[in-house]
């Protein structure tokens, strides 16, 4: 079974703080994704990575950056957290030859 873990289930940060969200997978999947999920808006793609050190912007990359130094780990960075970044953040992985994404449990971030 694919296992995708996220560093925190709940996180509370203050406006202006730098925030790191980490995602780790154990199945050697090439592709990893960061989404945010908000009521009524569904899942929106922030960034994805198709290989180590490779990244592509998704639909809403503003205010975020990512890092993929190792295949199993994909980090989402909020450079200066703002209240409108309060959301549920979901990491997902995808094996290159497949079509199904595997999601982590999510991190619920509150920015005060």
Binding residues for other proteins (CB under 8 A): 4, 9, 30-31, 33, 40-43, 45, 48, 50, 56, 58, 90-92, 94, 96, 99-106, 108
In terms of CB distance, is 84 or 100 closer to other proteins? 100
Burial of 25 (0-12, 13-18, 19+ CB in 10 A): buried
Q: Specify the residue, 81 or 94, whose C-beta has the smaller distance to other proteins.
A: 94
Name the minimum Å distance from CB 102 to other proteins: 7
Nearest distance from C-beta of residue 78 to other proteins, angstroms: 19
Q: What is the C-alpha to C-alpha distance for residues 61 and 104, in angstroms, rounded to an integer?
A: 20
């Amino acid at each position: 079974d694919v296992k995708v873990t996220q560093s925190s289930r709940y996180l509370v940060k203050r406006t202006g703080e730098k925030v790191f969200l980490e995602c780790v997978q154990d199945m050697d999947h090439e592709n990893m994704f960061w989404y945010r999920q908000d009521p009524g808006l569904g899942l929106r793609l922030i960034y994805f990575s198709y290989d180590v050190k490779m990244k592509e912007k998704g639909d809403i990359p503003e205010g975020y950056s990512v890092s993929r130094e190792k295949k199993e780990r994909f980090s989402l960075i909020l450079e200066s957290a703002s209240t409108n970044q309060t959301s549920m953040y979901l990491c997902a992985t995808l094996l290159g030859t497949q079509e199904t994404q595997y999601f982590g449990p999510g991190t619920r971030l509150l920015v005060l």
